[in-house]
């Protein structure tokens, strides 16, 4: 069960961490409702930061529900997202998705990100 925990070491904690991802995003994946920016890190695991703006998701209850779903799918998909710093931004109408749609959308984004990482790694090996 501890493998699915969400400790502080799995979160982006300060502005410098967020800025590093925003300024040097190596991977980007998006859907109608979310944008995920990612960059590799030199730590032993992935970290996630969430940006759910009140402008895009007005009700606090909905913002918290979205964050809860994002954290949950991140914890269960950590094996796919090895050594990445991620920032997830919610777009307008993300709160219109029910929990199952939200989970499916997020898992699809994690899968797309994993695919992009594998392609980049294969390309780098081919160049090397």
Tens digit of each residue's pLDDT, the chain (128 residues): 556 667 788 899 999 999 999 999 999 999 999 999 999 998 888 999 999 999 999 999 999 999 999 999 999 988 888 889 999 999 999 999 999 999 999 999 999 999 999 998 888 887 65
Domains of the chain with CATH codes:
2-127 (3.30.230.10)
- How many helices and strands, by DSSP H and E, does the chain display? 3, 4
- Cα gap 17→49, rounded to integer Å: 9
Quickly list H helices, 47-128: 60-76, 99-127
Residue 72 near residue 42 (C-beta atoms within 8 A)? no
Q: Which of 95, 115, 119 is nearest to 105 (CA)?
A: 95
């Amino acid at each position: 069960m501890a493998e699915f925990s969400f400790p502080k070491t799995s979160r982006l904690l300060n502005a410098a961490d967020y800025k590093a991802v925003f300024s040097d995003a190596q991977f980007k994946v998006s859907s109608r409702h979310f944008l995920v920016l990612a960059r590799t890190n030199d730590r032993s695991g992935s970290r996630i930061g969430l940006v759910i703006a009140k402008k895009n998701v007005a009700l606090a209850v909905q913002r918290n529900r979205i964050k809860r779903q994002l954290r949950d799918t991140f914890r269960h998909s950590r094996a796919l997202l090895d050594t990445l710093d991620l920032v997830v931004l919610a777009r307008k109408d993300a709160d219109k998705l029910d929990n199952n749609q939200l989970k499916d959308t997020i898992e699809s984004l994690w899968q797309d990100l994993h695919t992009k990482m594998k392609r980049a790694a294969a390309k780098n090996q081919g160049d090397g």
